[in-house]
Structures are given as structure tokens and as C-alpha cells.
Amino acid sequence: MSRSESAASPSPPSGASGPPVVVSTWPHGLPANEAAWAVLEDGGTALDAVEAGVAVTEADPEARTVGLGGYPDRTGVVTLDACIMDERGRCGAVAALQDILHPTAVARAVMEETPHVLLVGEGARTFARDQGFDTTALLTDQSEKDWREWRREQAEGQTSTDGARPEPNVEKAAGRGNHDTIGMLALDADGNLSGACTTSGTKWKMHGRVGDSPLIGAGLYVDNEVGAACTTGWGEAIVRVAGAHLAVEALRQGASPTDACRRVVERVRALPTDTSDIQVGVVALTPEGEIGTYALRSGFEAGRRTPDAENHLVDAGHLGDESDPQS
């Protein structure tokens, strides 16, 4: 038995409840789920539900790596990544987008109004403005203060630019920290799946850096026949295993949603790079309404709302790691 198998935590129950269902990453997913649930309960589509859900987090200045109030990059600029995908395999995304409060809505406009999938940087911003999106100053006083503090520590040699690499885990008690990306998956009453993923990325990232979150197949993938998956955590690792697509393909091969998510983090663990100081979390949802979630290490939770269960957090199973004090 391998070290990770012997130390792995048990898989949490994820039973199918039937539609509608909404599931999302981290504790801040709970208020986002409520907004998505209101759409689903009203007979709305999964696509509308995920857009409405993640918009709550995008507008929340306390969610420190999503939208308004997100940590800036190392030049002090907040840049946002987001994507959305529906039951027909349609998808849209934006990356390194500045000054727009709801990047997921812009991603949806890319999907619906252009022949493209991904717009980046100034092109994405111009497109958003052309589509009627207002500009918003995304750098809050708190984020600017934190950035100035980080720069001061840099100048004093207390941290290196490796500060752009995330701490291993969330500030679990507060549910806030360096891993606040929201990925959301929904199943509507018609049995259709959609998903969205939105983030300001890792804090103090290089200007122009794009993570997994806006990349279809890495941060999000939806296949109405077999299921949907979204990811959170250190994007460079998730991109390298095409995390969300990997989970969906595992579902296609007959894996349970929990096992499908576990396969992703096992592949991350097997990367030929040091993964001892990163976190990766994965969530999957099937057309039957069964959810699964798994993480590289402890501390990852998913918010889940079903017809049978009020909005609640599900503790993800995780691979064991004796070097991780929190595992």
C-alpha cells in the first residue's frame, strides 16, 4: 500500500439526490449557492444559476481571491480569470481581465456573442465595455494595504517573489485565505448541467499570469452525458493534469464522482515537481445529482444544496501527507 493510500482520509458520502443540485468550492460557496438555488428553485437553467451564484462571490470584498477585493498581482493590479460552460458544450472565458466586476458574465457574453472561447487582457476589457459592462475599481483599500505590506517585506528581504506560491492551505477557521476561487456546478430540473469558475488568481502573481480557472478542461469541464467538474488551488499544477477534464473523463470510464476527483489529485501528486506546499481541490457532479469532492490535503470543503438537504459544507476526502501538519 502506498504512503498516500495508507494515510488517505475516508471519502465523504455524496449520495445522489436528483435535481436540482448546486455545489461549489469553499465556505464562501454557501451564499453563492443560495443565489444559484433561487434560480434553480424557480425552474431556471443551470447556466443562469451558476452565473447568478458566482456573481455573489465576485461582488464580495471579503472573498480575497475572487473579483472585488481580490488580491492584486505583484504590480498592484487586480486581474480576473473566469469561465462558464453549459450542457451543450458551449463555453466562454476571459483571462487577465481588469476593471470589470463580473468576469463570469463577460465569459458568458464571449460564449454567446462571439465565435471565440477565450478573450484576454485589454481585448477582453474592450469587449466587456462594448457589451455594456461598467468599469469598477477592484482594488479595495484592504487589498492595497496588504499589497503594500507585502512589497515592504519584499524590500526588507522577509519574503521572496516565491510569495506568489500559495501557502499550503486555507485559513480554515475563517474559511478565507489564499484559496478563495469559486467553482460552481449546477444541475437543473430539466437534468442539464452547467458550471462556472472565477478568480483573481494566486496573490502576488506575475502580471499577465493566467491560472487554471479560465481554462476549459483545467478549471472547469461539463459533459451533460457523464458529469461536470471544477477545480481550485494551485493553478499551475491543475493545468498540467487538465484537472477538470480528467475528472469528467474518469466519470465517463465509470468512476464514482469522489474517485474521479481523487484521480485528479493523485495525478497532481505524481507530477515531477514539489507538491508539498500546494493545495488542489476538485468537485464533480453527475447528471443524477451525485457529488464528489477530493483534495490533495485537508482543509478543502465544498458547499452543497439539494432538494433533500439545506445548504451545507461537505468536508473533502484528501490524500495523506505526513509532512502536512493539517492532514
Residue nearer to ligand SD4 on the CB measure, 119 or 237: 237
- Name the nearest CA neighbour of 231 among 271, 270, 183, 194: 183
Q: What span, in angstroms and rounded, lies between the C-alpha atoms of 248 and 265?
A: 13
Q: What span, in angstroms and rounded, lies between the C-alpha atoms of 87 and 108?
A: 13
Q: Is the peptide bond before 19 cis (omega within 30 degrees of 0)?
A: no
Helix (H) or strand (E) holding 87: none
232 near ligand SD4, judged by CB under 6 A: yes
Residues 191-210 that bind ligand SD4 (CB under 6 A): 199, 201-202
- What are the b/e assignments for 7-34, b being 16+ CB within 10 Å? ebbebbebeebebbbbbbbbbbbbbbbb
Residue nearer to ligand SD4 on the CB measure, 14 or 199: 199
Site string for ligand SD4, 173-192 (x = CB under 6 A): ------xxx-----------
The one among 29, 168, 235, 287 contacting ligand SD4 by CB under 6 A: 235
Which of 65, 79, 181, 306 does the annotation list as catalytic? 181
| Cβ atoms < 10 Å from Cβ of 44 | 18
79 is catalytic: no
What length is written for the chain?
A: 327
Site string for ligand SD4, 32-71 (x = CB under 6 A): ---------------------------------x------
Which of the ranges 89-97, 233-241, 292-300, 317-325 carries the binding residues for ligand SD4, by CB under 6 A?
A: 233-241
Residues 261-320 that bind ligand SD4 (CB under 6 A): none
Residues engaged in binding ligand SD4 (CB under 6 A): 65, 179-181, 199, 201-202, 211-213, 232-235
Question: Looking at the annotation, which residues are catalytic?
Answer: 181
